[in-house]
């Protein structure tokens, strides 16, 4: 089966452009502490994609560091897609900064692949120039266009091409075009193998250095040794279409539509509806044994304006990924020049291309399991009831006092699907001299509660500057109730962050056991006593 002739438009350094950084300023976009995009100016300082943030900053001290924001990237990319819609209505967005469309129809209409590619460069270039308010656009930011048989070859052609012109690979020549690329190209960009770095690593160590080496093997051998990813690698390296030949006809009745009444003029409101639709579609897809790889999202405003976009995913659309695309699309629409004049009344999600679900081996003990998805859905429902910040997940902070260690972060700030570390690894085993040893209290009060601690004469118990107790604690008064102390230990003085006036804490901690059998952690700071925690 021959590959679909495809045109790919790549907007270079897109994350930095979307963040509004001029190309002559050194800046990087980071995600999970790694550089994922850098401006051309940063490249001249030898700052490369993949560096750690600290390393990048040490190479270029003036570097500006921007956090990754996929929603911003997608929103700013919308005008670029709109500009290409003058060529064809079927523009697929692979990821913000990268889109593609099949060239068969438009190429015939505009006079050949070369002419079409030239137009694509011009149109996309104008849109990018508008986005960053720079005219003319510096060569490093000019959109790169590649045309070839199949998406993979076309995107490699776009990546290779450098100066705002286009690279057109003749029909049937994609195989020979690909053969000189390194196997590392298999996992770059929007490749369906993205994330299989270990596969490329094994190829490399087996002596398979170029795509030609991989293509020379038989597909059966690769299947036997590497499974589905191996076959996919073979297809890509041979210049065949990246889609397996058994792309199924889309089953009937997968599309879902919702009417919004009253019309929604906020992205969040539409996204909330989209979540429900996406969940339904996900369920139907699963019952048909297929996964969706291409999704059409259509939104109609109350005055009849329509915005339709085709989104492609390299693996599969989960319900959350579908909702994200809806949010990005509407965000882009609401902020674009052709923004709707009224609220959104109709939202339609339609899976456009499905492939058989290869299945996924769920973790047997821990790891990625079905449980996590179910729990995430249930927690999202609670967020819908009580507000996004009502659900928190625990995180271990750093410090000596219980209140510093016990942290909660809002569920919106973390991703449950990834392997979420509770502590930064370098801090997990860091010694905190002065931290109280186990057992830790099961009830921690944040903020601590005010109490009074009295000695035998009824006066307040004081701790001297040298950390000595002036008199033994005999009574504890909390919320009007007085309890007798039957055992106490301490004081354990704590004098931390004396170098920082605002954060300076100087306190002494005690463990007290009261006559009702309860044990508590109390502390005294500037003459005031606090109940920090209870060993409940």
Partner 1 sequence: MATAAPDLDELRRLTQLTAPVTLAREHTLPVLEELRPLLPERGVRRGSTVAVRGDGSCALAIALTAELSRTGGWVVCVGVPTLGVSAALEVGAALERWAFVDDPGDQAAEVVNALVSGVDLIVIGPQVRLRFTHTRRLAARLRERGTSVITIAPDPSASLAADLTIEIERSTWTGVEWGHGRLRARRVEIVTSGRGAAARSRRLAAWLPGPEGRIQVIGQATLRRPNNSDGTDGTDGTDNTAEMAGATAGTVVDLARRAG
Torsion of the alpha carbons at 64, 67, 70 and 71, rounded to the nearest 10: -100
Q: Min. distance of Cβ 439 from partner 1 in angstroms?
A: 5
| HEC string for 23-53 | CCCCEEEEECCEEEEECHHHHHCCCCCCCEH
Q: Does 513 bind partner 1 (CB under 8 A)?
A: yes
Q: 33, 481, 516, 527: which one contacts partner 1 (CB under 8 A)?
A: 516
Beta bridge partners of 487: 513
Is residue 151 within 8 A of residue 92, CB to CB? The reply is no
Q: Does 532 bind partner 1 (CB under 8 A)?
A: no
Q: Give the interface size with partner 1 as a residue count (CB under 8 A).
A: 61
Longest distance between any two alpha carbons in the chain, whole Å: 101
Q: In 10 A of CB 499, how many CB atoms? A: 7
Q: Min. distance of Cβ 454 from partner 1 in angstroms?
A: 16
* 239 or 441: CB nearest partner 1: 441
| HEC string for 490-513 | EEEEEEECCCCCCCCEEEEEEEEE
Q: 439, 447, 458, 480: which one contacts partner 1 (CB under 8 A)?
A: 439
E-assigned strands of 280-343? 290-301, 306-312
Is residue 118 within 8 A of residue 102, CB to CB? The reply is no
- In the three-class reduction of DSSP (H, G, I as helix; E, B as strand; rest coil), residue 532 is classed as strand
* 181 or 510: CB nearest partner 1: 510
What does the alpha-carbon distance between residue 79 and residue 332 come to, in Å, rounded to a whole number?
Answer: 8
24 alpha-carbon distance from chain centroid: 27
Binding to partner 1 (CB under 8 A) within 143-182 occurs at: none
Q: Does 220 bind partner 1 (CB under 8 A)?
A: no
Q: 1, 62, 386, 427: which one contacts partner 1 (CB under 8 A)?
A: 386
Determine the interface stretch with partner 1 among 237-245, 307-315, 440-448, 456-464 (rule: CB under 8 A): 440-448
- Contact pattern from residue 405 through residue 424 relative to partner 1, giving x for each residue in contact according to CB under 8 A and a dash for the rest: xxxx--x-------xx-x--
* 336 or 368: CB nearest partner 1: 368
Q: CA 37, 330, 38 angle in degrees (round to 5)?
A: 5
Q: Does 479 bind partner 1 (CB under 8 A)?
A: no
Q: 443, 467, 497, 498: which one contacts partner 1 (CB under 8 A)?
A: 443
What does the alpha-carbon distance between residue 210 and residue 227 come to, in Å, rounded to a whole number?
Answer: 20
| Long-range interactions of 283-289: CB distance < 8 A, separation 24+ | 284/251, 284/253, 284/254, 285/254, 285/351, 285/354, 285/357, 286/357, 288/251, 288/254, 288/354, 289/356, 289/357
Q: Does 394 bind partner 1 (CB under 8 A)?
A: yes
Kindly list the strands in the beta sheet with 27-31, ordered across the sheet, starting from the edge strand earlier in the chain: 34-38, 27-31, 64-67
* 65 or 486: CB nearest partner 1: 486
What does the alpha-carbon distance between residue 280 and residue 351 come to, in Å, rounded to a whole number?
Answer: 12
Q: Min. distance of Cβ 282 from partner 1 in angstroms?
A: 15
Q: Does 511 bind partner 1 (CB under 8 A)?
A: yes
Q: Min. distance of Cβ 368 from partner 1 in angstroms?
A: 10
Q: 68, 315, 316, 396: which one contacts partner 1 (CB under 8 A)?
A: 396
* 359 or 439: CB nearest partner 1: 439
- Contact pattern from residue 356 through residue 375 relative to partner 1, giving x for each residue in contact according to CB under 8 A and a dash for the rest: -------x-xxx-x-xx-xx
- Contact pattern from residue 447 through residue 476 relative to partner 1, giving x for each residue in contact according to CB under 8 A and a dash for the rest: ----------------------x--x----
Determine the interface stretch with partner 1 among 60-68, 71-79, 299-307, 508-516 (rule: CB under 8 A): 508-516
Q: Does 382 bind partner 1 (CB under 8 A)?
A: yes
Q: Min. distance of Cβ 281 from partner 1 in angstroms?
A: 19
* 74 or 485: CB nearest partner 1: 485
What does the alpha-carbon distance between residue 518 and residue 453 come to, in Å, rounded to a whole number?
Answer: 16
What does the alpha-carbon distance between residue 314 and residue 192 come to, in Å, rounded to a whole number?
Answer: 5
* 365 or 499: CB nearest partner 1: 365
Q: Does 438 bind partner 1 (CB under 8 A)?
A: yes
Q: Min. distance of Cβ 74 from partner 1 in angstroms?
A: 28
Is residue 273 within 8 A of residue 260, CB to CB? The reply is yes
Q: 36, 216, 390, 427: which one contacts partner 1 (CB under 8 A)?
A: 390
Determine the interface stretch with partner 1 among 42-50, 121-129, 304-312, 512-520 (rule: CB under 8 A): 512-520
* 62 or 486: CB nearest partner 1: 486
Strand 144-149 relative to strand 166-168, pairing: parallel
Tokens in use for 4? 């679909």
164 alpha-carbon distance from chain centroid: 30
Q: Min. distance of Cβ 261 from partner 1 in angstroms?
A: 24
Q: Does 535 bind partner 1 (CB under 8 A)?
A: yes
Q: Min. distance of Cβ 422 from partner 1 in angstroms?
A: 5
Q: In 10 A of CB 319, how many CB atoms? A: 22
Q: 296, 320, 444, 462: which one contacts partner 1 (CB under 8 A)?
A: 444
Q: How distant, in Å, are the alpha carbons of 88, 141, 347 from that of 40?
A: 31, 8, 39
Q: Which residues bind partner 1 (CB under 8 A)?
A: 363, 365-367, 369, 371-372, 374-379, 381-382, 385-386, 390-396, 402, 405-408, 411, 419-420, 422, 436-446, 469, 472, 486-489, 511-513, 515-519, 533, 535-536
């Amino acid at each position: 089966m021959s590959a679909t002739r495809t045109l790919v438009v790549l907007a270079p350094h897109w994350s930095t452009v979307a963040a509004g950084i001029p190309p002559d300023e050194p800046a990087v976009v980071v995600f999970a502490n790694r550089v994922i995009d850098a401006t051309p100016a940063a490249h001249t300082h030898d700052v490369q994609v993949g560096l750690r943030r600290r390393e990048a900053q040490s190479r270029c001290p003036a570097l500006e560091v921007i956090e990754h924001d996929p929603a911003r990237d997608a929103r700013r990319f919308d005008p670029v897609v709109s500009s290409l819609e003058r060529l064809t209505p079927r523009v697929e967005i692979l990821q913000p900064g990268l889109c593609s469309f099949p060239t068969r129809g438009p190429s015939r209409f505009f006079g050949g692949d070369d002419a079409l590619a030239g137009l694509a460069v011009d149109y996309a270039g104008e849109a990018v120039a508008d986005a960053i308010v720079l005219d003319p656009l510096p060569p490093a930011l000019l959109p790169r266009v590649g045309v070839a048989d199949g998406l993979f070859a076309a995107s490699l052609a776009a990546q290779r091409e450098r100066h705002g012109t286009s690279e057109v690979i003749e029909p049937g020549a994609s195989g020979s075009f690909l053969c000189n690329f390194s196997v590392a190209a298999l996992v770059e960009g929007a490749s369906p193998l993205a994330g299989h770095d270990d596969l490329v690593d094994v190829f490399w160590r087996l002596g398979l250095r170029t795509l030609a080496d991989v293509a020379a093997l038989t597909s059966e051998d690769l299947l036997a040794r590497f499974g589905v990813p191996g076959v996919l690698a073979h297809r890509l390296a041979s210049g065949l279409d990246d889609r397996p030949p058994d792309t199924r006809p889309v089953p009937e009745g997968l599309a879902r539509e919702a009417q919004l009444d009253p019309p929604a003029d906020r992205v969040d409101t539409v996204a909330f509806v989209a979540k429900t639709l996406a969940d339904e579609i996900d369920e139907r897809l699963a019952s048909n044994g297929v996964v969706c790889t291409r999704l059409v999202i259509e939104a109609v405003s109350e005055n009849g304006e329509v915005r339709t976009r085709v989104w492609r995913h390299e693996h599969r659309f989960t319900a959350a990924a579908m909702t994200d695309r809806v949010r990005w699309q509407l965000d882009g629409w609401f902020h674009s020049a052709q923004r709707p004049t009224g609220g959104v009344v109709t939202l339609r999600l339609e899976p456009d291309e499905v492939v058989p679900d290869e299945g996924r081996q769920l973790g047997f003990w821990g790891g990625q399991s079905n449980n996590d998805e179910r729990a995430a859905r249930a927690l999202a429902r609670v967020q819908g009831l009580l507000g996004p910040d009502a659900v928190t997940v625990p995180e271990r902070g750093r410090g000596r006092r219980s209140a510093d260690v016990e942290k909660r972060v809002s569920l919106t700030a973390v991703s449950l699907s990834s392997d979420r570390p509770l502590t930064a690894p370098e801090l997990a085993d860091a010694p905190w001299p002065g931290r109280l040893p186990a057992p830790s209290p099961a009830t921690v009060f944040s903020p601590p509660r005010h109490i009074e601690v009295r000695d035998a004469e009824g006066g307040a118990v004081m701790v001297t500057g040298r950390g000595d107790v002036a008199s033994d604690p005999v009574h504890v008064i909390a919320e009007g109730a007085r309890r007798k102390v039957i055992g106490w230990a301490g004081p354990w003085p704590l004098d931390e962050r004396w170098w920082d006036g605002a954060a300076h804490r100087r306190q002494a901690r005690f463990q007290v056991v009261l006559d009702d059998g309860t044990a508590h952690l109390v502390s005294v700071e500037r003459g005031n006593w606090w109940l920090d925690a209870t060993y409940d």
